[in-house]
Structure 1
Amino acid sequence: MRTLLMGIALLLAAPAGAATQGVGSLDGVPIIDALDVGDVATGVQRFWFRAGPTPIGQPWLVPVVVIRGAQPGPRLMLTAGIHGDELNGIAVLHRLATTIDPATLAGTVTLVPGLNPPGLLQSTRQWAVDWSRSAPNLNREMPGKIGGSAIADFAGRLWNRLIRPNADTAVDLHTQSRGTAYMMYAFASTPRTRRMAELVAPDIIKMDKGDKGTVENTATDDGVPAITLELGRPEQFDDVMIARAESGLRNLMRDLKMLPGAVTPPPASLFVANDIIAARASRAGWARLLLPLGALVKKGQPIAEVRDAFGTLLETVAAPVDGRINMITTDPRADQGGTIARILWWSADPACANGC
């Protein structure tokens, strides 16, 4: 009990600043209020990052692994779990944390496998201590504001004391959320980030101007090239998808001269798009897909059927453009106007070169 009370006192007394700030420990793992990877010893170091208080006055603790190489080099930031039902990226970072050899690494890799503890606890996309689609989205809150609302403060601590000060390049790992599935799919917004996405070797790259407040766009806008990497389905560990992402991130690290070895070129099958459109059900009912995730489609091609409670066909949903199916709904219950699939395609409009 005395040790616990001493740890809490250290947490409450922690000063603000930019350097790594140790404020206690939990089961032998240091708790920090801020990270500067320049302060970290060569090798693999693990930390709990204190990201603000819970509603019951205890801190939210975010796991961090820093792998500092034997040679100087870039600082790569890899994050996952900012949406609490999107889990494959966490396993990718766990694998990298145990397989990257600091002796062969130039630079520093910082791994954050679980940015959103409240969402992860409730298996919800949102930043919430209960399941609520109306709750705020942590991946729209960057760079946050320390001392602001609960979520702004949480995001501000993550951004200003953990992510941004330790990143020259960044990749934020996701999946689709519950009831849906993606292919391995990357968002990029500039020629540099498109090159990063190509090296990771997804099935599809979407050139995308993105949403305000995401890790990817906030970093890129602040001079840190970043991509979002989507890895399939929610609420599971998919070993094939995890292995592909690990391989792709290692290829990116080879291109950054962080790891030795030859860089693998992008696959010839890589599909690049700059616009997206939803294929929607105009009638409510039971939807059944006619084409698989990843299928190439032509405008007007049937992609799904919707039937009523008795099995009577209500409508056939057709592809609205030529393109490739990058997302499907896995829940067959379709609302009127609900999305059945999303199709990526390339717009020839010059204004859409880096995303419409």
Structure 2
Amino acid sequence: MKTTNDIIDGVPVIEKLSVDELAAGKHRFFFKASTDSLGNYHRIPVIVIKGAEPGTKLFIQSTLHGDEVQGVDVIHQVLPHLDPDTLKGTVVLVPGANPPGMQLASRYYPSQNETQTFTNLNRMMPGDAKSSNAGSRYAHALWHNLYMGNADIFLDLHTQSTGTAFPLFLFADFRSADVCRLAALQPADQILEDDGIDGSVETELVRAGIPSLTVELGCANVFDPDMTQRGVQGILNTMIDYHMIAGKVNLLGIESYVGNDDVSITADTGGFARVMVQLNQEVSKDQLVATMTNAFGDVVAKYTAPCDGRVLSVCTTPLREPGATIVQILRRV
């Protein structure tokens, strides 16, 4: 544990987290990541609930992408369920891992340099402390001073990006039996058997031997009560199955559709998209899924499903430029 002499609003500031050094109980910290262009530290809120008995270390992070705030509500609503007197193990919760991106309602980590770089932190792990990219330095601080040593299993809470929507959807590396176990505990609508994306939290943690899921909870920039309830239940299910708390796993009657390939239908021309399918809907090859109109209301393009499958994502913002995603379909091949 590396502390500082700083106290902000009664909350101590740390430079490195080590939950093994903490006493049982509830702890709040601000974690110092890297500095901005004024030399001020980005401070990330961290909550640690350490049980009276040893057990699994569960790490839950939200909003590494700054517009994906749904996980903040999940973390806030799961807190009343966490009692250190009855908990076995430790839960680390980060309700907002990218404060500068959150302030801009932006997916990215913004940095003020010659090119005004906007970095996708979920492609930067484990980061580089000497990088010319400020986002990579920030990722290095998260990885080495916050994640490492404090997680046996990891849930990374996300949503779709601004202007699009997911159901409750998981990226899960099914080559790992431990990841399969984690995935089976979430009340997810759909799951992609995911070989991983270089630099993502999920992929790099799995490579480091820490079972991890990317949990997608609907739409960006909103708190959806249904997604909150289901996200909380997934966390409780995880804790029950790993013998951290008492109870019975409850999947809320949801049976997950598991696919191994996601197919994107993208705009060939800009205009106003009208999506004709809904999330989780089964579609057949050649089924009409969307149209594009111009400013005069003329239909200038029709989009059909290239395969059978399940609707994984839809655009929620009608204006689409060329190359923008309109619909995604999850299928099994």
* TM-score, shorter chain, exceeding 0.5: yes
Residue 195 of structure 1: CA displacement? 2.3
Matches within 5 A, 1:131-170: 135-149=118-132, 150-170=134-154
Distance 1:81 1:339 in 2: 22
Q: Which of residues 217, 220, 238 in structure 2 aligns to 1:234?
A: 220
Q: Which has the higher helix share?
A: 1
Q: Percent identity?
A: 39
Alpha carbons of structure 1 residues 266 and 207: separation in structure 2 relative to 1, 3 Å: farther
Tell me the alpha carbon deviations over residues 293-337 of structure 1, each in whole angstroms, 9 at most, x when there is no partner.
Answer: 221101111111112222122232111111111111111112234
For residues 254 and 224 of structure 2, what CA distance do their matches in structure 1 show? 24
Structure-2 residue corresponding to 1:350:
none
Write the letter of the residue equivalent to 2:13. I
Counterparts of 2:166 and 2:300, CA distance in 1: 26
The answer as to 2:37 corresponding to 1:51 is: no
**Quick one: which amino acid aligns to residue 176 of structure 1?**
Q
Structure 1 gaps of 5+ residues are 1-18, 348-356
Distance in 2 (alpha carbons) for counterparts of 1:335 and 1:133: 23
**What are structure 2's unaligned runs of at least 5 residues?**
none
Question: Matches of 1:268 and 1:140 in 2, distance apart?
Answer: 31
Contact preservation (8 Å) 1:164, 1:219: no
* Stretch deviating more after TM superposition (258-267 or 210-219): 258-267
Q: Which moved more, 1:263-272 or 1:215-224?
A: 263-272
Aligned residue in 2 for 1:352: none
Any conservation in 1 of the 2:187–2:255 contact (CA below 8 Å)? no
Deviation, structure 1 residue 20: 3.9
Q: Among residues 170, 174, 180, which one is paired with 1:194 in the alignment? A: 180
Once the two structures are superposed, what CA deviation does each residue of 1:47-86 show, in whole Å capped at 9, x if it has no partner?
Answer: 0000011110111100000000111101011001100000
Pair 1:88-2:74 in alignment:
no
Q: Does 1:102 align with 2:84?
A: yes
Question: Which SS does the other structure have where 1:211 is aligned?
Answer: coil
Secondary structure in structure 1 of the residue aligned to 2:215: strand
Alignment of 1:175 onto 2:192: no
Asked if the contact 2:266/2:327 (under 8 Å) is kept, the reply is yes
More strand by share: 2
TM-score (norm: length of structure 1): 0.88
Q: Which residue of 2 aligns with 1:252?
A: 238
Q: What is the CA distance between 1:93 and its match in structure 2?
A: 1.1
CA contact (8 A) 2:164 2:316 kept: yes
Q: Structure 2: which amino acid aligns with 1:156? A: H
Superposition RMSD in Å: 1.8
3-state DSSP class of the match of 1:320?
Answer: coil
Matched-pair contact (CA < 8 Å) for 2:275–2:290:
yes
> Residue 3 of structure 2 corresponds to which residue in structure 1?
21
DSSP-derived class of the 1:144 partner: coil
Q: Please tell me whether the aligned partners of residues 186 and 197 of structure 1 are also in contact (alpha carbons under 8 angstroms).
A: yes
Q: Which moved more, 1:190-199 or 1:226-235?
A: 190-199
Contact 1:199 1:266 survives alignment (8 Å): no
Distance 1:336 1:121 in 2: 28
Pick one of 218, 221, 224 that aligns with 2:210.
Answer: 224
- In structure 2, the residue matched to 1:308 is 294
Query: CA 1:75–1:20 in 2, change beyond 3 Å: closer, same or farther?
Result: farther
